[in-house]
Amino acid sequence: MGNYFSDLGPDFKKRTIKLQDIPGYQYSGTLADEYRKKHLSKAEIAELLESMLVIREFEEMILKCRTGAYEIISDYDYRGPTHLSIGQEATAVGACSLLNVADMITSTHRGHGDSIAKGFHAIKHMSEAELKTRCPEFAALSGSQLQEAVLEDHMFRTIAELFGKEAGYGKGRGGGMHIADFRVGHLGANAIVGGGVPISTGAAMSCRIDADMKGQVVCCFAGDGAYSNGVVLESLNWAAQDQFTGPIAETQYGLPVIYCIINNHFGMTGRADGEVNGIDYMARRAAGFDNENMHAEVVNGMDVLAVRDAIARAKKICLDGKGPVLLEFDTYRYYGHSLSDPRNEYRTRDEEARWKEVDPVDTFKKRILDANIMNAAEVAEIETRVAARNARAARRAADAADPDPADVIKYMYTDTACDTVPEKYRQVKVEGELPKVKRDAEGRINYRDAIKEGIMEEMLRDRRVVLYGEDVAEYGNAFKLTKGLLEAFGRDRVFNAPISEACICGTAVGMAMTGYRPIVELMYMDFALMASDQISNQAAKWHYMTGASTTVPLVVRCSVGGGKGYGGQHSQSLESIFAHIPGTYVAYPSNPYDAKGLIKTAIRDNNPVVFVEGQLLYNVKGVVPEEDYLVPFGQANVIREGSDVTLVVWGPAVNDALKAADILAEEGISAEVIDPRTLVPFDWDTVFASVRKTGRCVAISQCVDIGSFTSEIVARIMAECFDYLDAPVLKVGAKNGIAPQAVTLEKAFLPKPEDMVAAAKQLL
């Protein structure tokens, strides 16, 4: 790979750095011209109108449901999200009408319209075979009857999800703010403002490097409020990286993602323009990330044809390998943030009236009639069909079964793993010499090399395994753990990331959702707090919120630096935080053998895994087989058997606990030492069996004592083993403070073998 920066040097000549212009409102066509020039057929125009009407009808239904005015389900007590996008139909329809079934979208809490449009246009362009595959219950139908039945099913499943029904797209687990349909490339609406932007960026990364996905684009819908959010701006920077298209890029192909800013001029109530921003157009954001302004443009978002024109050009840019593209759609929502928001405190009726004069649905109908493309009766027939279809779907959804309360946490995890790699991903190209992991005469390697060897073996096994993070490429990461992997596997599979922890994890979610198996590194576990939304609200939740429609197989590697004098922001053991987040697995190996076996298991597992590495363990040696092996999750390791007291301990504290056991043995006390290896899933059976034998237990970790997972161990043992206990269950952990830098203070801060001995003796 070489040192490609060797020719760079200082150049301080006086100059003016100019920014390129951003075009705005470029479309000047008319519907009559588009029809006359045969750019759009009558059927295509009817499809655009129907799609906008479907969205408008659906959202007006929500509005009416709140007051019981939607007559066909006036008996149904609707409760759920009410973030309407009435007025924004042209953006959803204009964009989705030009996307292929395999093209992908991410959306927002106000994303009903995006979801409906993506499904509607996909269904409209499916073959009969594809329609029957999607809805096999309609196998006896054909032609327009089949298509109409599938469209109605689309509306039924949309409304059913809104109503929290088992028949909904997410089986009622996600609701309208998290609706997704992976069968048509809808990767999910997101209730976290901006939360879907890094996911769409990651999905585009999959499209960039996977030959079978070339030709696909990702359309990312997010509102103007999102574009002041940190992870969104990180995503723009991520997508525009020179290493994707510059001289060092292995694949000269930019990310095929279109960032669609749906600028309806309000975040919740705050105005993007004139109040919470200092720019006149959100499209200016692009100038900070790309010399080409990310091909940015401001578009009339109230005109479905203007939206289509911009999306068509953006798609071409992306498919030519010159993405990403940023488009700002200037539109408006007629209602407040939610139906509890009367909106009269921050805008006027006159303002709303002026926007309604260019209403996307009414304006398009008028243009159709004025151009004599359809007559009033034909337009009315579409309106009637849409209303009747929605009413039937709504009634069916209201009557549909609610999820069984017994299944309240069903789909929290998947029990699947990648046991067999698909044939096309087994063909792994090795770019250069594989790094050698040298064993000593006893067959030992250190903990760091054990993790490296495990990663390397999985990258050789499965081309979908990619590795990225801060400084993992030429430098080999801060601890040299990844040294040589770039040279072996190339920059498409191993590359440096910007210092953007949230985006590192968010893009991994997008890659995982689209079939890849990313390993991402955060360097220090402290930095996981920067990424906690993408780990905890995104990676952890999508399998559940979609009713198991997707899996998120990713590994977040983060090292813990406690005991090295690195102070309060580089020393925290935060595994307990992520053990508290349902949907994530948490692994923490204490020795080289487990390190290799657990990292391989983590990479193959179809759940997101927070993989914690103790920096104090990196140089610890142990016997590690060269051949392939896995250490199963949820199986504790009884490192030392004993009869008087059980020590449950993980991470670097395991070695201290073994020292404590030696000290106790000298005093005639037999300690059993159990390393759970994974906190989630946790091997309760092994721990309970040990405690029932010894009658005493101390739970130990290097986490700050308050709120530590050791408390969960204490609680569960007290509940499950109370009758067997001869003494209370105790905890040993770090002091309830901030990790200090001074060596004397840090020694006092972290638990020592003597602390563990004292706790055990207290029980005796």
- Residues labelled catalytic: 501, 570
- Label the pairing between strands 218-223 and 104-108: parallel
Inter-residue contact 217 to 199 (CB < 8 Å): no
Structure tokens given for 522: 């955060």
Closest CA relative to residue 144, chosen from 158, 131, 161:
131
752: left (phi over 0), alpha (psi -120 to 50) or beta: beta
Give the integer Cα–Cα distance in Å for 459 and 453. 10
Beta strands in 395-448 (DSSP E): 444-446
Residues paired with residue 458 on neighbouring β-strands, in sequence order: none
Going from the C-alpha of 250 to that of each of 323, 599, 702, the distances in angstroms are 16, 27, 42
Inter-residue contact 450 to 593 (CB < 8 Å): yes
Closest CA relative to residue 333, chosen from 109, 59, 88:
88
Closest CA relative to residue 164, chosen from 106, 81, 57:
81
Structure tokens given for 73: 């389900």
DSSP 8-state class, residue 48: H
Structure tokens given for 229: 């959010």
Would you tell me how many other CB atoms lie within 10 Å of the CB of residue 93?
32
Going from the C-alpha of 350 to that of each of 262, 340, 354, the distances in angstroms are 22, 21, 6
Inter-residue contact 124 to 147 (CB < 8 Å): yes
Give the integer Cα–Cα distance in Å for 334 and 716. 52
Pinpoint the alpha helices (H) of 644-752: 653-666, 684-694, 709-721, 743-749
